[in-house]
């Protein structure tokens, strides 16, 4: 009885917290959490104030092996920030973003009749990481020019490499080397397995992580799926899959920073999200090949081979045309709002 009473109080308190928020601000947080994040850890916490929203990194969601300096964590926070700003414009708010030394992001929100709603707001719920094999068609030059014309945040460079060019052909060797290093590392494998969600029940229990469904796997009992997925975490199987994915892609796009700072990483995430949303609007699919960036010696060597020494390769994606895949899950906004 005491337990039921306690649950009721907690539930009532949770509902009150949510209901007490400005519904526009709640909407913005709901859009922000649709952003991509490494292993779908959703490493963010939101604090709603009277005229601003703060975005804090959640240290419990870090990935100490694959992302030892939290670089990808802050890129993910940048993606969420961009979604939040786009959603704010949709609701008629102007935004002003600042970042402090701890990497807390504050988005000041000013309601004004003159804020122009960003048409990309419609793409926030449509965007998805699509790891399928694409159809091999090349994205027309006009579409690439539109993507290249998107304003980029300070400190960030974006390089587009079309399939068949010497630069495009330089990159796969670094992806395969990355697979060899990561797949040979038991700590990397263990961390990855921790974020695998093996079937619908498992996925629905956590609403985070890498779901069986987004890899095109069937919904079967865990004791059947787990060994199959474990087998897929190997250099050979990863390389085979990546070879097909690369062959089917139209472009590789490499995002780099000038100074490799927390501010750069957040800014990179913002620019990345804009490109992802715009390409989604144009019917272009994307997925990541981030292995070479995660191993710093490889990233340096790749930059040298691409004649961009001095820049820090941070995110590598492929673009192309592919069939829609199932969506990955998100935790409820209420679970990532703090007081
Ligand atoms: C910084 C960052 C790094 C990522 N790295 C990889 C990667 O190396 N391989 C991969 O398959 N997906 C990668 N992802 C994609 C995430 O796994 C994906 O965003 C997450 O599972 C949520 O799925 P969604 O993007 O479809 O919403 C990355 C995403 C971010 C933001």
Give domain limits for the chain.
2-127
Q: How many CA atoms lie within 13 A of 328 on its CB side?
A: 27
Pocket around ligand 1 at a 6 A CB cut-off: 36-40, 72, 75-76, 79, 128-129, 131, 210, 287-288, 290, 315, 328
Burial string for 116-143 (b: 16+ CB within 10 Å, else e) reads eebebbebbeebbbbbbbbeeeebeeeb
CB 255 within 8 A of CB 297: no
CA of 72 to the centre of ligand 1 (A): 10
pLDDT of residue 231: 80
What are 149-203's pLDDT values in tens digits? 999 999 999 999 999 999 999 999 999 999 999 999 999 999 999 999 999 999 9
CA of 98 to the centre of ligand 1 (A): 25
pLDDT of residue 217: 85
pLDDT of residue 21: 75
Q: What are phi and psi of 53, to 5 degrees?
A: -125, 130
Pick the CATH number of 2-127 from 3.40.109.30, 3.40.50.10860, 3.40.718.10, 3.20.20.140: 3.40.109.30
What are 214-240's pLDDT values in tens digits? 888 889 999 998 888 788 889 999 999
Confidence (pTM): 0.94
Segments of the chain with pLDDT less than 70: 1-20
Calpha distance 298→179 (Å, rounded): 11
CA of 11 to the centre of ligand 1 (A): 32
Percent of the chain topping pLDDT 70: 94
Q: What is the number of H-type helices and E-type strands within the chain?
A: 13, 11
Q: Are strands 44-48 and 337-338 parallel, antiparallel or unpaired?
A: parallel
């Amino acid at each position: 009885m005491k337990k039921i009473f306690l649950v009721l109080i907690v539930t009532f308190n949770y509902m009150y917290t949510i209901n007490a928020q400005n519904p526009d601000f709640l909407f913005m947080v709901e859009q922000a959490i649709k952003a991509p994040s490494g292993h779908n850890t959703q490493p963010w916490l939101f604090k709603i104030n009277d005229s601003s929203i703060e975005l804090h990194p959640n240290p419990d969601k870090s990935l100490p092996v694959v992302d030892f300096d939290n670089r990808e964590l802050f890129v993910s926070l940048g993606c969420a920030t961009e979604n939040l700003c786009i959603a704010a414009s949709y609701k008629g708010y102007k935004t002003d973003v600042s970042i402090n030394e701890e990497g807390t992001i504050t988005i000041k929100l000013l309601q004004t009749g003159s804020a122009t709603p960003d048409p990309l707001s419609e793409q926030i719920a449509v965007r998805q990481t699509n790891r399928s094999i694409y159809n091999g068609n090349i994205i027309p030059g006009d579409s690439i020019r539109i993507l290249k014309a998107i304003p980029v945040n300070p400190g960030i460079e974006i390089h587009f490499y079309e399939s068949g060019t010497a630069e495009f052909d330089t990159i796969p060797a670094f992806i395969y080397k990355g697979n060899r290093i990561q797949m040979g590392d038991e700590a990397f494998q263990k961390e990855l397995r921790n974020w695998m969600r093996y079937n619908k029940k498992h996925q629905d229990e956590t609403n985070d992580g890498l779901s069986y469904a987004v890899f095109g796997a069937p919904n079967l009992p865990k004791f059947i799926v787990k060994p199959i997925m474990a087998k897929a975490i190997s250099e050979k199987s990863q390389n085979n899959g990546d070879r097909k994915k690369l062959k089917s892609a139209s472009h590789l796009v490499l995002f780099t920073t000038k100074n490799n700072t927390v501010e750069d990483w957040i800014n990179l995430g913002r620019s990345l999200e804009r490109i992802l949303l715009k390409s989604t609007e144009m019917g272009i699919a994307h997925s990541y090949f981030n292995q070479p960036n995660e191993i710093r010696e490889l990233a340096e060597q790749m930059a040298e081979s691409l004649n961009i020494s001095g820049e820090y390769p941070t995110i590598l994606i492929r673009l192309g045309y592919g069939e829609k895949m199932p969506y990955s899950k998100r935790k409820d906004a209420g679970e990532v709002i703090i007081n």
